[in-house]
Amino acid sequence: MESMRGQLLVAGPALIDPNFWRTVVLVVEHTDEGALGLVLNRPSETSVGDAVPQLADLLDPAERLFIGGPVQPSAVIVLARFEDATEAALLAFDDVGVLGTGPSAEEPSSGVRAGRAFLGHSGWGPGQLDSELERGDWILEPARLQDAFAEDARELWSEVLTRKGGSYALVARMPADPSMN
């Protein structure tokens, strides 16, 4: 099995599951035991300051919380860019990974360059993600820093497909309801 860690899973046009329709998921971990990812393009209406004031020293309190996926929707995960990548609990790519919890997370702001909070995550059991990739549910693209912390996250699905080029760029311009075309 080849690990997809650090890859973006871009929902293919046939993926109609409402949890993942037109999503871009950053794979944070992928092993024989399963995979964990964060949906990068689903900002909520709730601000970090309103929902998780404990993160105010680390993140801009006005920043929106993101919906990371349907698994454990009440759990908060912070995706961060670290000054020292060894500080990440899980490293997705380059210096971007998940902030750990526990005693080492008491003063995390000193080594965090940027961060974003997610409610819940996306998860796959053993072999599940591989099966979905074989079925063509997901389009793979290497993650970039600007993807993880996109300013206009709602446009990320179209932007990544356009960047990939070719027929993917055509899919990026496809209307949400093709019958309306």
Residue-wise pLDDT for 47-106, tens only, equals 999 999 999 889 999 999 999 999 999 999 999 999 998 889 999 999 999 998 654 444
For residue 87 the two structure tokens come to 């500080």
- Spatial distance between the Cα atoms of 53 and 127, rounded to a whole number of angstroms: 37
List b or e across 44-72, with b for residues whose CB sees 16 or more CB atoms inside 10 angstroms: eeebbeebbeebeebbeeeebbbbbbeee
**pLDDT for the residue 111:** 84
**pLDDT for the residue 31:** 95
User: Using one digit for the tens of pLDDT, what is the confidence trace for 18-47?
Assistant: 999 999 999 999 999 999 999 999 999 999
User: Using one digit for the tens of pLDDT, what is the confidence trace for 98-143?
Assistant: 998 654 444 545 689 999 999 999 999 999 999 999 999 999 999 9
**pLDDT for the residue 103:** 42
pTM (two decimals) = 0.92
Considering Cα of 22, then 180, then 163, then 117, what sign does the dihedral take? negative
Rounded mean pLDDT, 145-174: 93
| Mean pLDDT, all residues of the chain | 91
For residue 151 the two structure tokens come to 């300013």
Rounded mean pLDDT, 139-159: 97
**pLDDT for the residue 178:** 63
**pLDDT for the residue 50:** 95
∠ at Cα 71 (150, 1), nearest 5°? Answer: 80
- Spatial distance between the Cα atoms of 106 and 43, rounded to a whole number of angstroms: 26
7-180 belongs to which CATH class? Answer: alpha beta
Nearest to 6 by CA among 29, 34, 38, 39: 29
Residue spans per domain, the chain:
7-180
∠ at Cα 55 (150, 46), nearest 5°? Answer: 60
**pLDDT for the residue 104:** 44
